[in-house]
Structure 1
């Protein structure tokens, strides 16, 4: 049977889980239509999900659509669980984006759209809640075209001349075919969807099963089934534990096949597959073999982590949507941190973005968090799994650092009977580009194996900046020169020289402090727009009116997380509950008050012995330290 993996995504409360339920019911997979508000949805299996009525963990269900087996991955809609959603994107063939017809394109919808574009995932759009009073199909299509793409086309009412006209505007090849023949072949439509030039739109109400069958037909008629090679590969997107505590590694097989007892490995671990499970909801089927295109969970892999590639697959990029807040985790009296930290590592395996960290100097556990909802979920998870009630103390913002100019950094490590020297070129990158590493060093100067080792040492560490000790980002680091000694150089020598070269370069550079920014959408009574815009200006944000109907207005803009993180409560207070603020992470931008932050943190790079800025030379049989300057 043909196989396709489809993810379903939405801004919170757009009706994503209700649509998942309707797809499963209409396909015949389930005999009873569950509801989120009745706490009996097929895919909301955790107690917390039932209590809050939101999807917290991504889940899968399998159903058949004509001759296609669909693996449906339901992803979290709340912005606090964006990292889990984003990891799931990396194994999708297609996506369904659910938009509320009552609310239109919302803040997090745009973030999802940006990610779908980044990962180049062809997308069907279901405009939900069209049964609600005041929804306007024509205005919604215009909004989708304006806010998302001109390729958003209504696929619901057959192949009319207007339908072909709109398709022809999306792709030159389709335009040529249409002008020559007055017709467009189905395969060309499929290809335009696959290439993200066309985005089929279907309108309906998932709760009332309106438009659901049309969506299913649209998908079955327009997906191109992926083809795979014979060489084994897989992408890991999730790690969980079952009720018995067994560690489950979830991945999509992207090539070849996998059998029970096969040995899987990466450069850092090797394990044997004990069991292969195909999940649908809470239940699973144990199988002896899976083929490419299958999403499965396996037991036996004790060290695999989300984002790793297996076989021919490379590791995935780290999620763009990462936590921007840091909190102190406070343990109850009598709970030993040394006992608790290994237990917390289990949760960190499942949510790598938490970065659970023991600060030796402060003697405290620190955790990176997306928002308050995630804190509540984390507290519940720790209590349920380990019987420990933890609390969180508000920490601060996660800052980052970059550079504004090109600089060369040099690291030399030569204590007695050791030798390594590294020259690195540090260049500022585009905002949001992260770190990239390459070598342009001649092999005549430094052997290929040593060059690979230097690149490995660059990649293995979260390098600290020199302003606040925050991680560096948005930088290209190039190995341009290096030296080894035939007799005295050992592997660890290049680690020392590489890290010192990074630090020396940062000390020489003009460093820039970055802080996280929100994109926001604020809906509120029109008479309060002036108050809101004044507030946003005071918070060092920017805003503009995107829509107004005489009663309600919509402001859009961006602002620092540090100033806007608690603004939702203020909005509710001054609008008496009539205002709504939707925030999503825009990315990192230049800090609005760097001097204040740098002074407050009080970081001294020259006293950070774990990230030294100096080099070590040898004279008359003993090593001596040379400062970075």
Structure 2
């Protein structure tokens, strides 16, 4: 069975989580689609996500469709949490880029598409909210072409085979000779020569089946790292066990085997908040390893040797000094360093005076979320001062 790791990317309020819910509903993972405004979505389960109505942490769900096994990663849409999304990109075989028909291409949309292009990740565009009054698909297609600088956005609701073939003389000849095939379309999408565009309403389930069918038909396993396996993120379980989230690209990883020289005691595959334990992960699989303490996000195994992969394309924009009346600076620094391992968006250091504890982050919303997480996890109140734009 073909295995595809699929990411859903979008700017805030484009309908990314609504699309995720409808996909999971149609693939019988959930009994009914959740709603962001009802705070009952399958993947946005963290209290801060439900309070703010946004995705803060990348999470995964699993489903099958038309004989393809999918791992769906719902990523943060707000720019303050871009680094979490950025790390997830390296695990993707394909990405759905959601664009709101009523708002069009936004600055963050351009950033997301550019990131996918740099990593050669095949992109499938879904224009959401086509049921809104005054929306014209032709205008949005023009916006996509010009704002994202895509030479060949292909409207998948039309007779699209000819549109795909025009990317080169070789494909035109094959089309005219009747030899142009679905495999050629898959090659063109994989090579980034054209971008398929679907349209509909995620809330009403319009265009979702067509999108899923296209993904099952044309998506392929994809890797740019050349690694055997990559560490995507570090996370704590509900009982505070350290978990290493990995994607296996070659070979396998097994319980009681070693990863970075440390024994694996358990492997979990999550589907929302639920998980099942498995004995091994094979090529194309993602999962959480319990036991290893050494791996960090951005590490990998390449040809059996420990290595690094990927370079961050995002830089912090705000620097602040952090204190807490609930603990001393030594313990505060320890807590921050512990949390930094799990949070790619957080950079912790000592100030130039060697006294202040300084954190660099992607924005003010991240600071608010960090306050809430430290209150919940470490039972201390953070205080910020000396805020500086970098």
TM-score for both structures, normalised by structure 2: 0.95
The alpha carbon displacement at 1:151 in A equals 1.9
Trace 1:290-309 onto structure 2 (pairs within 5 A).
290-309=281-300
- 1:39 counterpart = 2:39: yes
What is aligned with 1:120?
A: 120
Aligned positions, number: 386
- Quick check: 2:83–2:344 contact (8 Å CA) kept in 1? no
- Quick check: 1:258–1:291 contact (8 Å CA) kept in 2? yes
- 1:251 counterpart = 2:243: no
Separation of aligned partners in 1, 2:169 and 2:386: 54
Separation of aligned partners in 1, 2:302 and 2:55: 31
CA shift in 2, pair 1:126/1:394, >3 Å: farther
Tell me the secondary structure at the aligned position of residue 328 of structure 1. strand
- 1:325 counterpart = 2:318: yes
Separation of aligned partners in 1, 2:314 and 2:290: 28
Separation of aligned partners in 1, 2:169 and 2:236: 49
The alpha carbon displacement at 1:322 in A equals 2.1
Structure 1 residues without counterparts, runs of 5 or longer? 399-629
CA shift in 2, pair 1:255/1:207, >3 Å: same
What is aligned with 1:85?
A: 85
The alpha carbon displacement at 1:170 in A equals 2.1
Tell me the secondary structure at the aligned position of residue 214 of structure 1. helix
Equivalent of residue 213 in structure 1, options 209, 213, 223: 209
- Quick check: 1:232–1:255 contact (8 Å CA) kept in 2? yes
What is aligned with 2:156?
A: 155
Tell me the secondary structure at the aligned position of residue 396 of structure 1. strand
Separation of aligned partners in 2, 1:106 and 1:138: 17
CA shift in 2, pair 1:164/1:287, >3 Å: closer
- Quick check: 1:171–1:197 contact (8 Å CA) kept in 2? no
What is aligned with 2:257?
A: 262
Separation of aligned partners in 1, 2:101 and 2:366: 27
- 1:178 counterpart = 2:175: yes
Residues 328-348 of structure 1: per-residue CA shift (max 9 Å, x gap): 11211x521112211221210
Tell me the secondary structure at the aligned position of residue 130 of structure 2. coil
Residues 253-290 of structure 1: per-residue CA shift (max 9 Å, x gap): 0110111111122xxxx321111001110011011111
The alpha carbon displacement at 1:99 in A equals 0.4
Tell me the secondary structure at the aligned position of residue 249 of structure 2. strand
Separation of aligned partners in 2, 1:342 and 1:360: 19
What is aligned with 1:19?
A: 19
The alpha carbon displacement at 1:394 in A equals 4.0
Computed over aligned residues only, the root mean square deviation of the Cα atoms, in angstroms, reads: 1.8
Equivalent of residue 163 in structure 2, options 163, 166, 169: 166
Tell me the secondary structure at the aligned position of residue 356 of structure 1. strand
What is aligned with 1:369?
A: 361
Tell me the secondary structure at the aligned position of residue 116 of structure 2. helix
Q: Which has the higher contact order (CA 8 A, sep 6+)?
A: 2
What is aligned with 1:316?
A: 309
Separation of aligned partners in 2, 1:142 and 1:227: 31
- Quick check: 1:232–1:256 contact (8 Å CA) kept in 2? no
CA shift in 2, pair 1:395/1:232, >3 Å: closer
Separation of aligned partners in 2, 1:21 and 1:393: 40
- 1:138 counterpart = 2:145: no
Trace 1:497-508 onto structure 2 (pairs within 5 A).
none
Residues 66-103 of structure 1: per-residue CA shift (max 9 Å, x gap): 11100001110000000000000011111000000111
Separation of aligned partners in 2, 1:196 and 1:300: 39
Equivalent of residue 374 in structure 2, options 382, 406, 411: 382
